[in-house]
Amino acid sequence: MSPSDATPVLGFSARPDVQEALAHWRRWLESEKGVSPHTLAAYVGDVAVFLAFLTEYRGAPPSLNDLGDLRAMDFRAWLARRAGDGLCAASRARALAAVRNLFRWLDRSGRLHNPAIASLATPRAKRPMPRPLSEADAATLLDAAGEEADAPWVGARDRALFTVLYGCGLRIAEALGLTRRDAPLGDTLRVLGKGRKERIVPVLPAVNEAVRAYLDLCPHRHGPDGPLFTGVRGGPLNPAIAQRRMQHLRRLLGLPDTATPHALRHSFATHLLAGGGDLRAIQDLLGHASLSTTQRYTDVENEQLFTVYAGTHPRARRRE
């Protein structure tokens, strides 16, 4: 069959057996998988580009049998083409996820079996470098966190939350998941992190003081299983509220857009490292599964070191 014999489906040409399979796959994504319209459009578009590549690569639109016979080198040729087209690693990873999803569905539905796609490594996107606050900016933010709040207890809550994030290196979800029983009022805090993995972090006196001041003022008297950080109506504090509070402080203090609640966790790690902290110990405190994730903070420290060097060393300064 020539390319002109193919039937258009989902915006591109495909053979009848592939057309039928794609129509069923799309309905499965919509009705059973319940993917969002954005994800559906992205998956369909990525598969369309994949099939268009195969049509050019093989000289004709592929049939289901052709898809079942594809080798790992064929999939790699498609990914190489996408890289050559300028597609970033994150976008190539999404495209591969879409094609893998299709092939898994084709396998489960008994239409074809192709193990070659499982051997492909997912393109790895370069993770952005953490952007911590300076020590001075972090201190200024914590001092100002309680200002201009609607009520004194709300200001104390905000200061306590941001102090816990910076003083203990918690993720925002970890901090907002703490109960009254978990309140960091002692020397250590037990944190339930990603993958329900527990870790123990030390608690600084400044964290104790901020949390005690908040609890003394908080009008919502929950039991030990109630949320530590609450909204104005007494329910668990919504992370969006914390984000908006940080946005307000950014504007008030003239801090960069990178000053977010999560940046306080980055600041915790970077400032520990700058103070001589051991990288393995910092990995444990942050709950990172891989040391390579923690090593990103070494890059941050080196970048800051070079910035200071370039601005202060006599030989680095330009002569007027």
The residues annotated as belonging to the active site are 171, 194, 262, 265, 288, 297
Residue type, 30: E
Q: Tell me how far apart the alpha carbons of residues 291 and 320 are, in angstroms, rounded to a whole number.
A: 45
CB-CB contact of 207 with 168 (8 Å): yes
Q: Read off the tokens for 60.
A: 């004709």
Does an H or E element contain 7, and which? Answer: strand 7-9
| The dihedral sign for the CA sequence 168, 172, 175, 177 | negative
The burial of 177, by beta-carbon neighbours within 10 Å (0-12 exposed, 13-18 middle, 19 or more buried), is given as middle
Q: Tell me how far apart the alpha carbons of residues 102 and 70 are, in angstroms, rounded to a whole number.
A: 14
Q: Tell me how far apart the alpha carbons of residues 87 and 49 are, in angstroms, rounded to a whole number.
A: 12
| The dihedral sign for the CA sequence 94, 100, 102, 105 | negative
CB-CB contact of 191 with 198 (8 Å): yes
Percent helix / strand / coil, the chain, rounded to 5? 60, 5, 35
Q: Read off the tokens for 213.
A: 């001041």
Does an H or E element contain 14, and which? Answer: strand 12-14
CB-CB contact of 267 with 292 (8 Å): no
**Residue with the two structure tokens 């037990």:** 190
**Residue with the two structure tokens 């053979």:** 15
**Residue with the two structure tokens 């040409």:** 13
